[in-house]
Structure formats: C-alpha cells, structure tokens
Chains A and B, each alone.
Chain A
C-alpha cells in the first residue's frame, strides 16, 4: 500500500501542471500583493510628504550596487543548479547550489554592514518616514533572503538525499525553491532604484 502524494512530478490531466508548480505560483501571487502593498505605501507616503530626501544622500549606493550584483549572480547560479540536475550532473549541482547559498550569505552580511552604519549614525526607523519605509521594505526583503537561503541550504545538504531515491521529484523541488529565490531577486531589482537612486 502506498500513501504517496499524487501529482508531485507528473502533470494533473485537468491543469496540465503538477501541483507543486501551481502551489508555488499561488504563493508568489500572495507575495506580490504583500510587497505591492508596501510599495503602494511608499508611493503614498512620498507623494503626501512635503519634502522627500534623496536616497543616495542617506544610503550607501556602492554597497547596494554590489548587493544587486551579488543577488543577480545568485539567481544565475540557482538556475544553473537546476540545469545541472536536468543534465544529471549532481557534482555541478552541489557547486552551483553552494554558490547560491554563499551569495545569499554575502548579501546578508553587506545588509548587516549597511544597517550597522545607519544605527551608528543614529538613523533608525523612527528617525524619518523615508527611513521607516526603507527599514520595513529592506527588512522584509532580508527575511525573504534568509528564508530562501534556509531552503536552499536544506536542498544542498540533508534534502539532497532524495536525489538517490527520487531524482525527478528532487529536481522539481529545486526548481520550486528557485522560483522563490528568483522572486526575491526580482523584488530587490525594484527596491534598489526606488530606495537608493530616486
């Protein structure tokens, strides 16, 4: 007797998709609304404010540029990790997935340096409306990076055991983790110009 969950790999006849794919996209749709609401708050606060500081005057643009490069690189290594599994090359998967986790860590370290320098200069969320929305948006984003890294690290180490028993399902899991990771990258692509450059 088997109690296997159906449609984890094979497509459902009515949707043409496996359930994992639909699940992650519905989740990402809810994430779009979460960040969308905060971006909307940003716009409303900005157009309603008598003056608005230039992000580059308060924030560290070079560090954030490096972080943009780091996160885009991590997206590429993530998609290459998935492509390596599609090519049945587990060694390369390990290399690319390891790089993805490492890039995530670099991003968070740089973010920590940025936050610390703000606190050292007594710039807190309560200091101004700009800093309040800056810390809210980047803090929520950093939590997403941390969450994505945790999932990726799981698939790099203990979760990778599944490659031996169910390689197709494991490949699907990595693709799904990748969809989340790329979304986190996508959010940063908008956060960076909105907060730092405009």
Chain B
C-alpha cells in the first residue's frame, strides 16, 4: 500500500464526514421549513430543492460520481432523459386542470 494511496483515502474520508454533517443539517432545515406553513407551490419547490441537493451529495460523494468513468455518465444521461419523460410525460394529459 503506497503512502500516496493512503493520503488519497484520508481525503475521501474527510469529505464523507463533511457530507454527513451537511446532510444532517439539510434534514433539519427541511423539517423546520415544513412548519413555516409556506404556500403549497413554494413549499414544494423548496422541499424538492433541498432534497435534490441532498441527493446530489449522496450520488457525487458516497457513490463516487464526482470522479467516475465516462461510460457511467453516458448511462446516467440516458437514465435522466427517460426519468424526465416518465415523470412529466403523463402530466401532459392533465395540463388543463393542474392547480397545486
């Protein structure tokens, strides 16, 4: 085991702890904000924004997506496209009546 490798892992571990603290803080923020009784569209936007940041932190650091090979990104680009299609495609049938 090279010393360089060991330093690299130590850097990773520091990042994991920082991400952990941030995730905990954001969890508290999400719950706290939900008690503010914001209007529904604002509350949804805020809660989803916080969840997206948390999800991105998990994916980038715990799942190592921040430094992954190109092929994985290619797979994920397709996944995102299909995910958005399945999320918002069905909504098109409901466009006339959407009210939050």
Contact = CB atoms under 8 A, between A and B. Distances in A.
Interface of A: 15-17, 21-22, 25-26, 29, 32-33, 36-37, 39-40, 43-44, 47-48, 56, 61, 65, 68-69, 72-73, 75-76, 78-80, 83, 86-88, 178-179, 182-183, 185-186, 189-190, 192-194, 197-198
Given A15-B71, A72-B23, 11 more contacts: A22-B75, A32-B79, A69-B27, A80-B13, A87-B6, A178-B62, A179-B63, A183-B63, A185-B62, A186-B59, A197-B30
A39 B51 CA distance: 14
A44 B43 CA distance: 18
A183 B98 CA distance: 31
B94 A44 contact: yes
Contacts of B43: 197-198
Given A16-B71, A36-B87, A193 B13 contact: no
B contact residues, range: 35 or more
B8 to A, nearest CB: 9
Nearest to A64: B31
Interface of B: 1, 5-6, 9, 12-13, 16-17, 19-20, 23-24, 27, 30-31, 34, 40, 43-44, 47-48, 50-51, 54-55, 58-59, 61-63, 69-72, 75-76, 78-79, 82-83, 86-91, 94, 97-100
A79 B17 CA distance: 10
Contacts of B34: 56, 61, 193, 197-198
A56 B32 CA distance: 13
B9 A22 contact: no
Given A65-B31, A72-B24, A75-B58, A25 B87 contact: no
The 7 closest A-B pairs by CB, nearest first: A197-B34, A193-B47, A29-B79, A182-B62, A76-B20, A36-B83, A16-B69
A83 B9 contact: yes
